[in-house]
Each structure stands twice: as structure tokens, then as C-alpha cells.
Amino acid sequence: MFSVLTRLFHALATMAAMALIAFSLLHLLGDPVENMAGQEVSVEDKERLREAFGLNASVPERFASFVLALVQGDLGRSLQYRRPIADLFAERVPATVELVLVAAIVSIVVGTLLGVWAAAKPDNFLSRLVLTGSVVGVSLPTFATGTLLIYLFAVAVPIFPAFGRGETVDIWGWQTGLLTRSGLMALVLPGATLGLFQLGIVLRLMRAEMLDVLRANFVLFARARGLPERSVVLVHALRSAMLPVVTVAGINLAGLVAYSLITETVFQWPGLGLLFIDAVQFADVPLLAAYMVFVAFVFVTINLAVDLAYRFIDPRIRAGQTMQPG
């Protein structure tokens, strides 16, 4: 119980620190008023606009009012769209969540399977090829992968759309692209772009862990006991090897939310990342600060979830023991 409270405190402190950092940096983005009003608008009218939006207040004052509103559950109002940020987030979250989840699930499932296979058959030509290919996935920057995929599969061989989300269906206010053909087609390229990096990491990590575990004593015993090889690898060894992979995949899931920024820009994917990039260009400080706090919240939540997941996967942790480095 105590540890949960500590964790909660840490989470709040992290988010507060993020908001502070955001506010102390964001004024460097410059003056949004030039974007809010046309060039012909008089200096006096611009000054009025600045006053109305509280842009003349000092950074500490603006930070204080931001936090005060946040505590009351108000994320504030965007300068660019002049709408409540909470509404904007609610509209954009589905696109990002679907993209990130598809990328995460595909990369974890495919990455794990390929990793196990590569470890079980280390001398196979194909498994070596896959391993080499994963280096490319890990080292290519996301925008390069995205641009490359667009030119290969949208322009040269036009199978998938080059941009956008396709048709969406409204389910209780959640705009999903998972239920239409065009929505699913539109997910392929950005999902692959975003997932490729994660896939490479999961694959390599899984393989390394598996190679380790397959040499462990309990595997020898299991084999000596005459358990079928399939069950040794996929049940006993895999479960032990999963732990570090879950940690990294969990942290990377939060990373995916952050990386989706680039993927969304490349594919004009109407999610939070695109909202953020537009806001940077506009110097829409309240929106940027709210986004950064939101992302901090996502990181904190996922880390918490990863901690809890340990207890299910590794019995030693459930029993309250400290984890020994493998």
C-alpha cells in the first residue's frame, strides 16, 4: 500500500516537473499573436488580443494559472483553434491510440515470435537474414522509413494510401478506423513505420534472452525430464525470458506515443502528434504544455502498468523478493 502511494506521488511530481520545464522553455517559441491576427490588424488591436489571452503575464504567472486550472481539470484553451484543449485531445486521441496500439501489438507479437525462432534456430540462413534486417529497422530514422514506404507502396506500387486515416466509424464518440476497409488500409504504412523500430528491438532482445535462458539449468532439467522441446521453449523458457522484454516493450510503448509525432507528420495522420507539430509552428503554448503533461501522464501510467505486470510474469517478484539481474 505504501509503495503505491509513493509511486503515485512520484507520478504527480514527474508531471509537475514536466509542466514546469514546458513552460520555462515554451516562451522561446516566440509570439503567437502574429499568427492569430492578420498582418493588417493594428498594433493596438494586437495588444488587446495579447492582453485577452494573458500573453503579457510573466512566465511564472502563466505557469501558476496553468497549474491552477489543471488541478480543476481544465487543460486550458488553444490559441490556434480557440477551443478547449480537452475537446481537441478527445478528437485526436483515437487516431493516435489506434496507430500506437497496432504498431505495438504487431511489433511485440511478431518481434517475440521471430526472436524465439531466431534463438531456437541460430544457424538457420533465414533467421540470420531476419536478424540482419532488424538492424535496419532499429537504425533507420522514422521519417526516412515513412518516406521510403510511401514511395514504395503508395507511389511506385500504389497499394496503400500515402496519407490520412481513411474512412472512420463513430462508436460512442470514438472515431475508429479499424472497422472500414479504407481505414485498415490506411493503417498499414504508418503502423509499419512506427512499429519497425520497436519490432527490431523486441526481436533482438528476445533472441538474446532466449539464448541465455536455453542454457540455464532448469531448461536442461526439463529436457532431461523428457518434456517435449516445443513445451520447453514456448512455455518454460519463454516465460523466463519475457521479463526484460516486457520492461523494454512497456517503456517503448510510451516511446511509441512520442515517436508517433514523426510518423503522424509524415503520413498526415490526424492524431495528437500532428496537433503538437502544428502547435509548435503556431507557438500555441497552452496546447503544447498540455500535450507535454499528457505525454508525461502516459509515460507514468505505462511504467506503473509494467511494474504491475512483473508480478504476474515472475513469481519471485510476487513473493516480494528483489529481482536479481539475469
**Chain residues in the site for other proteins (CB under 8 A):** 28-32, 34-45, 48-49, 52-53, 77, 80-83, 91-92, 95, 147, 150-151, 154-155, 158, 161-165, 265-268, 270, 274-275, 277-278, 281-283
Q: At closest approach, how far in Å is the CB of 179 from other proteins? A: 17
Beta-carbon contacts of 79 under 8 Å, excluding residues fewer than 6 positions away, are 32, 36, 53, 282, 283, 284, 285, 286, 287
CB of 297 to other proteins, least distance (A): 22
84 φ/ψ angles, rounded to the nearest 5 degrees:
-60, 135
Give the nearer residue to other proteins in terms of CB position, either 26 or 116: 26
Nearer to other proteins, 14 or 147 (CB): 147
Q: How far apart are CA 309 and CA 307, in angstroms?
A: 5
Q: How far is the CB of 28 from other proteins (least distance, A)?
A: 8
Task: Report d(CA 135, CA 129) in Å as an integer.
Answer: 10
To other proteins, the closest distance from the beta carbon of 267 in angstroms equals 7
- Cβ closest to other proteins, residue 1 vs residue 28: 28
Closer CB to other proteins, 81 or 297, in the complex: 81
CB of 177 to other proteins, least distance (A): 11
> Virtual CA dihedral for 87, 90, 92, 98, nearest 10 degrees?
180
Question: Which residue, 92 or 236, is less far from other proteins as judged by CB?
Answer: 92
Q: How far apart are CB 26 and other proteins at their closest, in Å? A: 11
Name every residue whose Cβ is closer than 8 Å to that of residue 110 and which is 6 or more positions away in sequence.
199, 203
For residues 158 and 150, give the distance between their C-alpha atoms in angstroms, rounded to a whole number: 9
CB of 36 to other proteins, least distance (A): 6
CA distance 69 to 293: 13
Q: Which is nearer to other proteins, 122 or 166 (CB)?
A: 166
d(CA 110, CA 134): 12
CB count, 10 Å around CB of 284?
Answer: 26
Q: Which residue number, 99 or 243, has a Cβ lying nearer to other proteins?
A: 99
Sign, CA torsion 246/97/267/156: positive
